Amino acid sequence: MHNVQDSFRSNCKRIVAAVVLLFIGTIAFAQSKVTGTVKDSGGEPLIGVSVVEVGTSNGTVTDINGNYTLNVKPGARLKISYVGFNPKEVRAGDKTMVVLEEDNKTLNEVVVVGYGTMRRKDVTSSITTIKSDDLNKGVFTDAANMLQGKVAGLVVTSTGDPNGSPSITLRGASSLRSGAAMQPYYVVDGIPGVDISMVAPDDIESIDVLRDATATAIYGSKAANGVIIITTKSGKNGGERTNVSYNGYVGFDRISKTLDVASAQDIRDFVTKNGLSYAYDGGGDTDWQQEVLRTGFSHNHNVAINGGSKKTNYMGSVNYMNREGVIKGSNMYRLNVRSLLSTKVLKDRLDLSVGANMMYGMHRGVKMDNEGASVLDAMNYFNPTNEVTDANGNWTWGSGSHNFNPMSLISEDTSETFWKRNQFIGKATLHIIDGLLLNMNYSYDNFQHTYSAYDSHNSQLPGLSAYYGKADRNTYFGNSQTFETYANYDKTFNKVHKLSLMAGYSWEERNSNDGFGLSVHNFFDDTLKWNNLTYAGQIDGMKAVNSGTKETVRNISFYGRAGYSFNSRYMLQATLRRDGSSVFGKDHRWGTFPSVSAAWNITEEAFMKNQSIFSNLKLRLGYGVSGNALGFGAYSAVATYGATGSYFQSNGVTYVSLGATKLANEDLKWETTGMFNLGIDYAVLGGRLNGSLEFYHKKTKDLIWAYPVSSFIYPFGSIQANVGEIANKGVEFTLNAIPVKTKDFEWNTTLNLAHNSNKVDRLSNEKYHTDVFEQGDPMVAGVSANGYTQRVMEGQPIGTFYMYEFAGYNDAGKATYYVHDAKTNERTGEVTTAPVYKDRTVVGNAQPKLNLGWNNTLNYKDWSLTMFFTGVFGNKIYNGSRAHYTAPDVFSGGRNVLKEYIYDRPYTDTYSNVPSTRFLEKGDYLRLQSLTLGYTFRYFNGWLQSLQLYMTCNNVFTLTGYKGLDPEVNLGGIDPGVDYRWSNYPHTRTFMMGAKLNF
């Protein structure tokens, strides 16, 4: 019996083993080797093409000859895909020949232009489009920061201040005025002139930057500095489902660098070494930078919902941001709400949209005034031998005047600004006939900001201790309306003749500066601060009341565009805009802004069809004129009068005396910019390498400046007039590439380089004259007069440093400077320790010779790594902080200095730090601006579609020789490149962790 059982078991094992061997053999027999070659339409082999067996992860890539070999199941199908080409599925076989057709998706991408859209292939102007996934990631309170380094020719200088805004310049300065006059013009979802704070960064779908005048001229008098068109995310229709997404992050900010100031021990050693009599030692040892600085915590949350049906769609989003600055006492929060409802009626002939957008925010800042009344300044100059508080718990005081304890400034001199904006929009588009649309847009928004400040009983600011608590509060209101109607006609005839026409009308009205405020003092205590002004014991008459003068500005415009394309080979476009504005002189209220441009798609020519190098090659040429009316008020061209501060009586009634505050100029008119642009768009290797090369020349005329006039003839000493001229010319290069592409790994890289040369051509005419405009005074201790570092002068660029030339130290250890001839301004070969005015000369410029932006994105399966570099080269920076904190006058006044003064400067050099090349430094830097690592979880079988987790570090490292806090100083305005110690909020290094969820 046992033998039978053993025999049965043995036979079973043999049968099972045979079945397993047969199964394995069947599988092995079922696999077959297939081969093939992949080429483009020109017959050239394609390297690195992905070849994958459909329905599996089994795949390979083609070799240098375009060949592939793969083992597949019988009857399998292969998916062939390659960057820049349309994917294709083929039946697996031996020696299969596969030809991939080029993907024209990039060329057919829709580009947003003024009052319409067009295919990228048909664009004749210089326009850069940045999708939301390609925008910068970081803790940004202003959406403009997302464009830094992304667009060639667009220079964005960021700030670490949570309440600050970046400086933006496109293709060089086009005005001598500051503020809005130098900023681009923003258009959001087709509504012009929208404040960018109304848009939360997470709500942005794409940004189109109109760079040349042929693109911007359609916006006429507001477009001289470029136009930035923001398209926000909208509802999705056709799915009968609701999509919900969440995007949030937390961030931690630390200052990236602090100044190397002397410690208490450094000062005591220096005093002992040099046998000095030092009366300022407070007996303490305080690191004031450590007291003032902190790790700033930020968090941002965005919840969006969208959906719709075949005819109706909707979207809504709520965004909340809260950000702490690295300076104690500085922070902000902001709430943005957006909504849009769109539908089709009248048998889909009429599209209707209504929307509401709201922004509520609060900015809380610290003192950043000059004359020592700045926390940014005081944390470096306040004596480290002082304790934070004395034995009674009161803030310690510094010796002399304008020497403030930074913690006192933070705690006792506080302020905040509350902002509120509401915008309501309505849109309608009527489809009249095939290709003809009539559009109407209306926007109404109102805004209010309320500023509140309080200086407590313990304030150290001059004169405030006698006020026993002083509160200032003011509030200002405004509103604006915009109505636009325009018609678009797009039609293609005989499949090759494409005609595009647009004509429109705009009306705008803006009311602003409508507000008032009070200043009161003598509070019993500091508990309520500004929150109940009636608790104050005194108001100092009418001088304690401030008021705005309500302004109403109206603009009307007529505009049109005509475009023709022959078979997408030859394109011609012309625009014309006629603007009228109430802000200028009565005879100069209208301006005309034309443009004309042409393009030639060379690759559409018959002689290019048989070549395999270029998949796209287009030549663009254009000239346009745009204007600059930004920054003007209702009373810019008329005479204005204001209170002089004195009073008189008449018939027993007291009246305030009025005096001229501005002269009238009936000839005041637009600043106009004409720009010539030559561009080349290219793509090779099936689009794997693509980009553009731009050459431009920009000339701005009728620049406005306040010119001095005789006070014997006029009641005021200056008048605004159109006189100046500025020229900018440059070259811009953009390259997009995919160097590596495999089945699981892809490397995308984008490089942009820009060079701009600026020159002031004219400052005077026969009526108004000035030799130079002196700018950039860093207010260095001991330099009471002629402390400026720059000149705006004919023949030189804006940002020209005009100073003494440092010649080193003489044998006595004194600083010396080169002597210059009074007539030729050349060096005489002599040096002096006491330079005079004639010894100043041009020593450099603040404007970079080269700006760089370089982005790299590495994707491996569901992992992604992004590295973004920015760079500035060939510019100079005047290190105002170093000049001040190494001045003998600072140390002798009981304030702190840099260690450089203690250890490197000859003690015998007791002269003041006059403006010279000693503190003019190279501003070159290369920075790893951001590093982002992310992972995306997919294929959730339920309510969650995808989850992405990411970590980002901003301002990772900077390669530079600059000795100041940061080489990224303001490059806008008319005094670029001056590192002001009291207002340059330090840049930070930010660590972020975030999540994106799609439900």
Residue 12 pLDDT greater than 70, yes or no: no
Bin 292: left if φ > 0, else alpha if -120 < ψ < 50, else beta: alpha
Alpha carbon distance 734, 692 (integer Å): 5
CA distances from 884 to 781, 783, 888 (A): 6, 10, 9
H or E element that contains 167: strand 167-170
pLDDT (mean) for 574-579: 95
Evaluate whether 481 touches 508 at the Cβ level (below 8 Å).
Answer: yes
Q: Are 214 and 114 found together in one domain?
A: yes
In the prediction, which pLDDT does 759 show? 95
Q: What is the largest CA-CA distance in the chain?
A: 142
How many CA atoms within 13 Å lie on the side-chain side of 554? 3
Q: Which residue shows structure tokens 């570090």?
A: 953
Q: Which of 343-352, 582-591, 837-846 is predicted least confidently?
A: 582-591
Q: Which of 83-92, 147-156, 787-796 is predicted least confidently?
A: 83-92
Digit-coded pLDDT (tens) for 393-417? 999 999 888 999 999 999 999 999 9
Q: What are phi and psi of 379, to 5 degrees?
A: -70, -15
Q: Which residue shows structure tokens 């008329």?
A: 638
How does residue 14 score in pLDDT terms, banded at 50, 70 and 90?
A: low
Evaluate whether 441 touches 354 at the Cβ level (below 8 Å).
Answer: no
| Closest of 303, 192, 310, 325 to residue 251, by C-alpha | 325
In a domain, 618, yes or no: no
Alpha carbon distance 454, 476 (integer Å): 18
One-letter amino acid of 747: W
pLDDT (mean) for 177-197: 86
Q: Which residue shows structure tokens 């705005």?
A: 548
How does residue 885 score in pLDDT terms, banded at 50, 70 and 90?
A: very high
Q: Are 50 and 82 found together in one domain?
A: yes
Structure-derived torsion over alpha carbons of residues 164, 135, 202, 145, reported in degrees to the nearest 10: 0
Whole-model pTM? 0.87
One-letter amino acid of 285: D
Q: Which of 492-496, 559-563, 606-610, 850-854 is predicted least confidently?
A: 606-610
How does residue 237 score in pLDDT terms, banded at 50, 70 and 90?
A: low
Alpha carbon distance 249, 202 (integer Å): 11
Digit-coded pLDDT (tens) for 754-763? 999 999 999 9
Tokens of 746: 């892809």
In the prediction, which pLDDT does 495 show? 87
Residue 204 pLDDT greater than 70, yes or no: yes
In a domain, 318, yes or no: no
- Percent of all residues in the chain with a pLDDT value above 70, rounded to a whole number: 95
CATH, residue 154:
2.170.130.10
Residue 18 pLDDT greater than 50, yes or no: no
Q: How many domains would you assign to the chain? A: 2
Alpha carbon distance 91, 95 (integer Å): 11
In the prediction, which pLDDT does 105 show? 57
Q: DSSP readout, 19-63?
A: HHHHHHHHHHHH-EEEEEEEEETTS-B-TT-EEEETTSS-EEE--
In a domain, 299, yes or no: no
Q: Are 136 and 213 found together in one domain?
A: yes
Q: Are 97 and 159 found together in one domain?
A: no
How many other CB atoms are there within 10 angstroms of residue 566's CB atom? 13
How many other CB atoms are there within 10 angstroms of residue 924's CB atom? 20
Q: Are 118 and 149 found together in one domain?
A: yes
CA triple 17-18-24, angle to 5 deg: 90
Top-confidence residue, 831 or 648: 831
Alpha carbon distance 287, 801 (integer Å): 34
Evaluate whether 669 touches 704 at the Cβ level (below 8 Å).
Answer: no
pLDDT (mean) for 161-172: 87
Residue 17 pLDDT greater than 70, yes or no: no
DSSP type of residue 898: B
pLDDT (mean) for 194-215: 89
| Closest of 677, 485, 496 to residue 122, by C-alpha | 496
Q: Are 115 and 228 found together in one domain?
A: yes
Digit-coded pLDDT (tens) for 530-572? 999 999 999 998 889 999 999 999 999 999 999 999 988 999 9
Note down the domain range covering 152: 106-232
H or E element that contains 5: helix 2-30
Q: Are 112 and 222 found together in one domain?
A: yes
Top-confidence residue, 187 or 22: 187
In the prediction, which pLDDT does 7 show? 53
Which contacts qualify for 769-778: CB closer than 8 Å, 24 or more apart? Answer: 769/707, 770/705, 770/707, 770/708, 772/802, 773/176, 773/705, 773/974, 775/974, 775/975, 776/801, 776/878, 776/975, 776/977, 776/978, 778/878, 778/880, 778/883, 778/884, 778/915, 778/978, 778/979, 778/980, 778/981
Q: Are 95 and 123 found together in one domain?
A: no
In a domain, 85, yes or no: yes
In a domain, 487, yes or no: no
Q: Which of 73, 103, 133 is the last residue of a domain?
A: 103
pLDDT (mean) for 955-969: 94
Evaluate whether 205 touches 132 at the Cβ level (below 8 Å).
Answer: yes
Q: Which of 198, 232, 266 is the last residue of a domain?
A: 232
Alpha carbon distance 17, 9 (integer Å): 12
How many other CB atoms are there within 10 angstroms of residue 27's CB atom? 10
Top-confidence residue, 433 or 132: 433
| Closest of 417, 429, 443, 419 to residue 194, by C-alpha | 443
Evaluate whether 72 touches 34 at the Cβ level (below 8 Å).
Answer: yes
3-state secondary structure 381-442: HCCCCCCCECCCCCECCCCCCCCCCHHHHHHHEEEEEEEEEEEEEEEEEEEEECCEEEEEEE
Residue 910 pLDDT greater than 90, yes or no: no
Q: Are 88 and 185 found together in one domain?
A: no
Secondary structure of residue 221 in the 3-state scheme? helix
Tokens of 793: 């002068």
In the prediction, which pLDDT does 135 show? 85
Q: Which of 156-170, 522-536, 544-558 is predicted least confidently?
A: 156-170
Digit-coded pLDDT (tens) for 434-485? 999 999 999 999 999 999 999 999 999 998 888 999 999 999 999 999 999 9
Bin 495: left if φ > 0, else alpha if -120 < ψ < 50, else beta: left
Alpha carbon distance 176, 791 (integer Å): 12
Residue 71 pLDDT greater than 50, yes or no: yes
Residue 97 pLDDT greater than 90, yes or no: no
Q: Are 114 and 93 found together in one domain?
A: no
How does residue 895 score in pLDDT terms, banded at 50, 70 and 90?
A: very high
pLDDT (mean) for 274-292: 93
Alpha carbon distance 917, 257 (integer Å): 24
How does residue 657 score in pLDDT terms, banded at 50, 70 and 90?
A: confident
Q: Which of 182, 205, 232 is the last residue of a domain?
A: 232
Q: DSSP readout, 962-999?
A: --SS-S-----SSSTTB--TTT-PPPEEEEEEEEEEE-
Tokens of 20: 């397993």
Secondary structure of residue 310 in the 3-state scheme? coil
In a domain, 1, yes or no: no
Q: What are phi and psi of 108, to 5 degrees?
A: -95, 0
In the prediction, which pLDDT does 26 show? 42
CA distances from 156 to 814, 851, 871, 894, 983 (A): 41, 10, 11, 38, 18
Q: DSSP readout, 358-384?
A: EEEEEEEE--B-STT-BHHHHHHHS-T
Q: Are 128 and 205 found together in one domain?
A: yes
In a domain, 993, yes or no: no
Task: Provide the mean pLDDT of the chain.
Answer: 89
CATH, residue 58:
2.60.40.1120
How does residue 25 score in pLDDT terms, banded at 50, 70 and 90?
A: very low
Q: Are 129 and 228 found together in one domain?
A: yes
In a domain, 135, yes or no: yes
Alpha carbon distance 454, 411 (integer Å): 10
